[in-house]
Amino acid sequence: MSESDIVKDFLVESYENLDRLDRELVDLEKNPEDREALGSVFRTIHTIKGTCGFLGFNKLEAVAHVGENLLTRLRDRQLTLTPEITTALLTMVDAVRQMLSQIEKAGQEGERDDSVLIATLTRLQQSPAAQVSATDTTAPKPAAPAPAAVAPAPVSTTEVADMLPNMPLNIGDILEQRAGVTAAAVQLAVMQQKEGDPRRLGEILVEHGAVRPADIVDALRIQQAARAAAAPASDSTIRVDVGLLDKVMNLVGELVLARNQVLQFANRMKDTSFIAASQRLNLITTELQAGVMKTRMQPIGNIWGQFPRTVRDVALGCGKEVKIEMEGKETELDKTIIEAIKDPLTHLVRNSVDHGIELPEARVKAGKDRAGRLILRAFHEGGQVNIEIGDDGAGLNAERIRKKAIERALITAEQAPRMSEREIFNLIFLPGFSTAEKVTNVSGRGVGMDVVKTNVEKIGGTVDIHSTLGQGTTVRVKIPLTLAIIPALIVTCSGERYAIPQVSLLELVRLKAEEVSKGIELVHGAPVYRLRGRLLPLVYLNRELKLVADDHPPRQKDAAVNIVVLQADERQFGLVVDQINDTEEIVVKPLRKQLKTVKIFAGSSIMGDGRVALILDVLGLAQYAGVVTQTRDRAVTEKATGAEAAEVVKQTFLLFAGAGDSRMAIPLSTLARLEEFPVAQVEMSGRQWVTQYRGKILPLIRISVVMEERRNKLRTLQAPPPLDSGPIQVLVLNHDGRSVGLVVERILDIVEDRADVRSAATRAAVLYSVVIGNRVTELLDIPAILRTADLSASQAAPATQSAEFAN
Amino acid sequence: MAHTSQFCTFYLDKLLFGVELKGVQEVIRSLEMTRVPLAPAVVSGLINLRGQIVTAVDLRRRLELQPSPQGTLAMNVVVRSEDGAVSLLVDEIGDVVEVEETTFEPPPETLRGSARSMILGVHKLNDRLLHVLDIEKACQMVDAAATE
């Protein structure tokens, strides 16, 4: 190992240690009597100091040294931790961090003057308590003022166990801590060993008279136990270079593409062994992909770890008291995303403390705790990660924001009263809003919020803000799990395929040829479609991409129209394409610089057949087509106002024909996908209908069987579907982490309705009957259906047979 | 011995061009191409080069030459630019030639248009002139887009 490697390792390790130090110091301030935390802080500094001395970084060593001295006094209870000491120690951590980055850049410490810091740290050692016990407080002395003065009693096993988390693995360090051996004595003994002394460290130390044999025995016991405790952690993880991980990730991306190609090829082949092999390849690739993605996943706690320190500094700076709470620290995100959201999140946290939470006096007056609460919450939801930064502060003042926005000409005075409170709050994300110097006392927020929004949107995320005046504000950031591989809908337009990221996709509408002339209307030449009573602006992809001339008729006569309903920045629009192919997991490859100017594409990807397809940037497309204006402010105000309010109570339902052609519905939110399987793909597993679906076995529940009378049910239960029938319609539902397919007769429609006229259910598995679209419809009770299905698969089965015999 | 350099040569509209050999990654036959709507006209499309997506530049257009006749399959000269690999579409591939520095001359003042910035000069070969292309300039789309 060369010297530079050692330095590199030292840097990596020290950066980690420093981050931990930040956290531990802030924790320690809250709880100064925590001996364990203090011991850990002390050891971290000690390690850095030791390595610095070894590598010849003298300035660094000097700073770490005075810090260690101060900590020694704290550890020996000659001093108690005050905020002043904490601040000084944190400043020291910052100084060490700066020096490390200097070493990283230039290979040496550089010219720095730390005399002020060193003087502060030295002065802080001279507290009254320290002066009683020590006379040499003027100059920083090495650790352990009176070594060996207190000979520790032999340790018991329980004591050993208690000490474990604190104990280093190195016998020298243990002796230093436990038996008061000086660092110099240990170093001397180590030198002697290196020069060829075959004896063990303990023996040498005993010979030097630095330590008693009994202490060595104790120390060895501690070491053994500490090793046993530490071994699993250090053996089960390894450090891997991120560059290597990225490379592996890229290769897996390639493999996914190659797999897709092979699968397409396999579809045309008759050779069963080849098909089997390609299916195996398929499964292994999927698993490998998931595995590799996992290696890049990091818990969000990694960046949250710095927030206690940030919060402390900001709170101290503006004289506030803030408690920080974290939920879902272990929520994992792709490394690139973690890096991308670090700054926006830090910004939001600072904002919450700086502007959200009030001064202690104001809080008490408002009947709240003196200390404000800052709540960080992270959780997974629908393939996305939600991160919330909430506070119980003053909240946003909608009226002031409204006024300010009018003043800044972001909205007009006529628009202002029509805007909902939520729209008003979202104004603070507008670029023009935050530039003012007086923003803080106008809105309470808004410093660089547009930058936060831009950065989050850059990685495909969204920011939303909720606030109640006097009760607090919560900012919710939604971001995708990963950027490298995304699910996308593949569409065809003028012979070329385009991928649409599924996050922007709302639904697909197909108009049959005879419905087109009625369905698509014109508003002064602009095509619109009535989607559940609301006008949806239509954008023809082939025209926008200039694949056809503008005056070209939008479609051939007698052709169906495929509308992809997309969401772009709170606006919905319909994209008309020639053909809708399928959804596919695609590997996103960024566009080269030469094509970056084309805002309508987000990237490119290689399809199963090896050809390149472009990925549409839905927001860019919407802007290009004029659905969303560039400045975004119009989009906010243009939004339908009346419908918005009604929508809150409206729910979207999927209507279908169930048992005996009766009209049934489920809330759309419970539905994962709609699928159509040929009957040949349905297999029997035990007594359950199943089908293979996306590399998993999907149990199929027949709605007709669930609904029918028990007598009839028993007869039809086991029979596989007749082969000559058409494809079966399946609603794929995700419930409690597992997927099931609900086989229905026919899918009818998707409707939005208030569904407030209800009556009690007349049969099992129905929640209640409601009026949807002026017709009585049964709303299914999905958990109940799942329960029935389980029953029919297992317990009811024996009964089936006897019933059959009885017939 | 005079300083020599090697060029990968190719033909465009019967003219002989060359790029420095060390800037060339590979030469391949025509590949299936995906059009990029709304892109600068010099961008012919994107090709899949063993899993790497490479922009293909219509060098004829870039040099303001006559467009190639319909139906001709262009060859790809894949070069390494600052922004990764770029494929230059050419009519036909020539030999790798080694030329001495002494045969080089800068382009005449009468050479105008966007081609001037891309053509560093010519090497006087025995029977014809070898136009030396600047790879970076040829791969830049910015000015090309501006002239659209």
Write down how long chain A is. 807
CATH number of the domain residue B81 falls in:
2.40.50.180
Interface test with A, best of B31, B78, B86, B141 (most A CBs within 10 A): B141
Q: Which of B38, B46, B48 sits opposite A600 (nearest CB)?
A: B38
Residues of B in contact with A605 (CB under 8 A): 53
Rounded CA separation A407/A390 (Å): 28
Rounded CA separation A472/A393 (Å): 4
pLDDT at position B142? 53
Spatial CA neighbour of B44 closest among B92, B90, B93: B90
Interface test with A, best of B34, B50, B58 (most A CBs within 10 A): B34
Q: What is the pLDDT of residues A584-594, one digit of tens each?
A: 878 777 777 77
Between chain A and chain B, the number of residue pairs with CB atoms below 8 A apart is 65
CA distances for A764 relative to A92, A328, A369, A782, angstroms: 69, 38, 50, 11
Answer yes or no: do B38 and A598 touch at CB < 8 A.
Answer: yes
Answer yes or no: do B32 and A610 touch at CB < 8 A.
Answer: yes
Answer yes or no: do B35 and A592 touch at CB < 8 A.
Answer: no
B11 bridge partner residues: B16, B92
pLDDT at position A308? 87
Q: A249 CA to chain B: closest CA distance, Å?
A: 13
Q: What percent of chain A has pLDDT over 70?
A: 76
Residues with Cβ within 8 Å of A134's Cβ and at least 6 positions away in sequence, in order, are A78, A145
Q: Which of B34, B40, B57 sits opposite A614 (nearest CB)?
A: B34
Tokens of A783: 């958990």
Q: Kindly list the residues of chain B whose beta carbon comes within 8 Å of any beta carbon in chain A.
A: 32-40, 43, 45-48, 51, 53, 55, 57, 83-84, 86, 139-142, 145
Residues of B in contact with A595 (CB under 8 A): 36, 39, 43, 55, 141
pTM: 0.49
Packing angle of the helix pair A171-178, A201-208 (nearest 10 deg): 40
Answer yes or no: do B39 and A595 touch at CB < 8 A.
Answer: yes
Tokens of A635: 């989009």
Order of strands across the sheet that contains A766-772:
A746-753, A651-657, A663-667, A775-780, A766-772, A758-760
Interface test with B, best of A250, A252, A541, A592 (most B CBs within 10 A): A592
Q: Which of A258, A600, A606 sits opposite B53 (nearest CB)?
A: A606
Which residues numbered 532-571 in A keep a CB inside 8 Å of some CB on B?
A: 545-547
Answer yes or no: do B55 and A592 touch at CB < 8 A.
Answer: yes
Any idea which architecture A486-646 has in CATH? Beta Barrel (2.40)
Rounded CA separation B122/B101 (Å): 11
Q: A460 CA to chain B: closest CA distance, Å?
A: 22
Q: For A3-236, give the CATH class.
A: mainly alpha
Q: Identical fold at A486-646 and A649-806? A: yes
Confidence of residue B8 (pLDDT cuts 50, 70, 90): very high
- Domain that residue B8 falls in: 4-147
Residue in chain A closest to B54 (alpha carbons) equals A592
Answer yes or no: do A592 and B83 touch at CB < 8 A.
Answer: yes
Q: What is the pLDDT of residues A325-373, one digit of tens each?
A: 898 888 888 887 888 888 888 888 888 888 888 888 888 888 888 888 9
Instruction: Name the one residue in this structure whose structure tokens are 């292994």.
Output: A284
Would you say B86 and B133 are in contact if contact means Cβ atoms under 8 Å apart?
A: no
Give the start-to-end residue ranges of the domains of chain A: 3-236, 242-295, 299-480, 486-646, 649-806
Spatial CA neighbour of A708 closest among A806, A805, A796, A801: A796
Answer yes or no: do B36 and A595 touch at CB < 8 A.
Answer: yes
Write down how long chain B is. 148
Answer yes or no: do A592 and B140 touch at CB < 8 A.
Answer: no
pLDDT at position B19? 92
Answer yes or no: do B53 and A589 touch at CB < 8 A.
Answer: yes
Total domains in chain B come to 1
Fold of A649-806: OB fold (Dihydrolipoamide Acetyltransferase, E2P) (2.40.50)
Answer yes or no: do A610 and B43 touch at CB < 8 A.
Answer: no
pLDDT at position A792? 45
Q: B118 CA to chain A: closest CA distance, Å?
A: 16
Rounded CA separation A83/A313 (Å): 11
* A612 interfacial to chain B (CB closer than 8 Å): yes
Select the more confidently predicted residue: B90 or A650: B90
Instruction: Name the one residue in this structure whose structure tokens are 């060369």.
Output: A2
Counting beta carbons within 10 angstroms of the beta carbon of residue A443, is it exposed (0 to 12), middle (13 to 18) or buried (19 or more)?
buried
Predicted-complex ipTM score? 0.82
Reported as type and span, the H/E element at residue B7 is strand B4-12
Instruction: Name the one residue in this structure whose structure tokens are 């393939």.
Output: A383
Q: Phi and psi at residue A226, in whole multiples of 5°?
A: -65, -40
Q: Which of B32, B33, B43 sits opposite A595 (nearest CB)?
A: B43
List chain A residues with pLDDT less than 70: 1-3, 110, 127-180, 194-199, 201, 223-235, 382-383, 431-447, 481-484, 549-558, 569, 628-650, 659-660, 707-725, 736-737, 755-756, 788-807
Confidence of residue B112 (pLDDT cuts 50, 70, 90): confident
B19 bridge partner residues: B8
Q: Does domain A242-295 have CATH number 3.30.310?
A: no
Q: What percent of chain B has pLDDT over 90?
A: 26
CA distances for A470 relative to A349, A423, A434, A643, angstroms: 18, 19, 22, 29
pLDDT at position A194? 67
Amino acid in position A717: L
Would you say A786 and A740 are in contact if contact means Cβ atoms under 8 Å apart?
A: yes
* Conformational region of residue A577, where left means phi above 0, alpha means psi within -120 to 50, and beta covers everything else: beta
pLDDT at position A2? 61
Any idea which architecture A299-480 has in CATH? 2-Layer Sandwich (3.30)
Residue A166 DSSP code = G
* A194 interfacial to chain B (CB closer than 8 Å): no
Residues of A in contact with B47 (CB under 8 A): 612
Q: What is the pLDDT of residues A126-161, one digit of tens each?
A: 755 444 343 343 434 344 333 333 344 444 444 444
